[in-house]
Structure 1
Amino acid sequence: MTGGRPYHSPRRAQEAAETRRDIVRAAAELFATNGYARVTVADIARAAGVAQQTVYSSAGSKSDILDEVLAEAIRNSGGDANLAEIRLTDDLPTALALLAHGTRLGNESQEQAVDIIFGAMPVHENAAQLWAFATGQYRETLGQIAEHLRDKGLVEDAERTTAVLWFYFGLHSWRSLVRDNGWTWDDAENWLARQALAALG
């Protein structure tokens, strides 16, 4: 017998990745429509057109799939690009207007994922860990923006500013104005930018 590297099939790897994507997307639709608690792995398998064992082997448990749904939303939220453009600013009104617009786009484009987070929180087996995972990078980005504002001499305390930015531009603020109170995204963006400027200016 001769030794060698294991055979790797690009086509098989691509098919596996596509199956995983199909599972995650099917799960996201079910979580958003039916609520995380009501969805079973069997439901996900049926919606994705695969066997239950394929769900487990390809994407993991229901909780693992939820993590992947949220990770994909985080990757697609535009936070890094928003941070980069804000780092080019040197005045507070411009920086906050860009932050209001950037977080608006992130929350608007990933509204389904935000709905899933809030729906899963009351029933998830580890709600604190879920919330930390869902919001950790968001809050970290706001912290980096606060540090930029401090370094430019626009605010004094980066830690306090981070808290203020989360209050005005975090998940709850957008959800409260748009979902709970029926505001348009434009109105919410403009109002939150003005309020944040009044609080920090």
Structure 2
Amino acid sequence: MNARTSGRRPYRNDRRAEAAAGTRAAILDAALSLFVEHGYAKVTIGDIARRAGTAVPTVYASTGGKAAIMTVLMNRGVDDPVVEKTLDEVRAATDARAAIEAMAHGVRLDYERHLEIIQVMITAAAVERGVEEELHRVAAVYRRALGVLPERLAELGALRPGLSHERATDILWFLFGLPSWRLFVAERDWPWDETERWLAEQAAAALLAGPDGH
């Protein structure tokens, strides 16, 4: 009896875990769609529960309150596999422009996949202290990731003389940071491909040594 019971328990636990994961995913998707449609400030936990087809206590138990939900959504971009893939490509690049293009393309893919979340988190940060703090943390992680590019350019001997790693990262943050893609793509309707090419060109012009070594 005990052997049979113990044999069934992992199966039941797996089914329970799958159900919980499905509920959590439904809640997160419902929250994001509501945030996009109505704005973060106007959406309630009750709204999210109704859209997800579950109860309010289930939302709190599965994901927490609105700020906690927003934190999970924000980290989708940070945790996207494209981030590590892009950094690996930058570190492996043997040509300076190829390194810049790899970074530009990877950042573009991450933003393209998560643009709705980016737009929501910027507006949410203005009304929720917890979201604002998480946005600063995400921005710091992202800025450190951008810093991999000037490190590689310096290793290749291609970084503009006199340009420090910190200053080069500042330039990349200005060009590839959260506001730039949102401005060009979401507000000015630039195509993603054109935006990627233009930003990569500006990064190359700002970071690379010229033909005369300057």
Provide the TM-score with structure 2 as the length reference.
0.85
Give secondary structure in 1 for the equivalent of 2:92: coil
Of 144, 148, 156, which aligns to 2:148? 144
Query: Which 4+ residue blocks in structure 1 deviate beyond 3 angstroms?
Result: none
C-alpha distance in structure 2 between counterparts of 1:157 and 1:72, whole Å: 31
**Residue 192 in structure 1 maps to residue 199 in structure 2:** yes
Q: Is the CA contact (8 Å cut-off) linking 1:79 and 1:138 kept in structure 2?
A: no
Question: Quick one: structure 1 residues 121 and 128, their matched pair in 2 at CA, closer, same or farther if it must change by over 3 Å?
Answer: closer
**Residue identity (%):** 39
Kindly provide the CA deviation profile for residues 84-121 of structure 1, in whole angstroms up to 9, marking residues without a partner as x.
01111133211111111111111111111111112212
Give secondary structure in 1 for the equivalent of 2:37: helix
Aligned to 1:162: 169
Of 96, 117, 120, which aligns to 1:116? 120
Of 150, 158, 177, which aligns to 2:184? 177
Aligned to 1:52: 56
C-alpha distance in structure 2 between counterparts of 1:93 and 1:152, whole Å: 11
Greater alpha carbon shift after TM alignment, 33-42 vs 122-131: 122-131
The structure number with the bigger radius of gyration is 2
C-alpha distance in structure 2 between counterparts of 1:169 and 1:33, whole Å: 26
Aligned to 1:125: 129
Aligned length: 196
Give secondary structure in 1 for the equivalent of 2:147: helix
C-alpha distance in structure 2 between counterparts of 1:133 and 1:23, whole Å: 24
Of 74, 79, 86, which aligns to 2:83? 79
Q: Is the CA contact (8 Å cut-off) linking 1:70 and 1:113 kept in structure 2?
A: yes
Which one-letter code corresponds to 2:43 in the other structure?
A: V
Task: Structure 1: state its 5+ residue gaps.
Answer: none
Q: Is the CA contact (8 Å cut-off) linking 1:77 and 1:106 kept in structure 2?
A: no
User: Aligned Cα RMSD in Å?
Assistant: 1.7
Q: Is the CA contact (8 Å cut-off) linking 1:121 and 1:131 kept in structure 2?
A: yes
Provide the TM-score with structure 1 as the length reference.
0.90
C-alpha distance in structure 2 between counterparts of 1:179 and 1:172, whole Å: 10
The Cα shift of 1:16 comes to: 1.0
The Cα shift of 1:152 comes to: 2.6
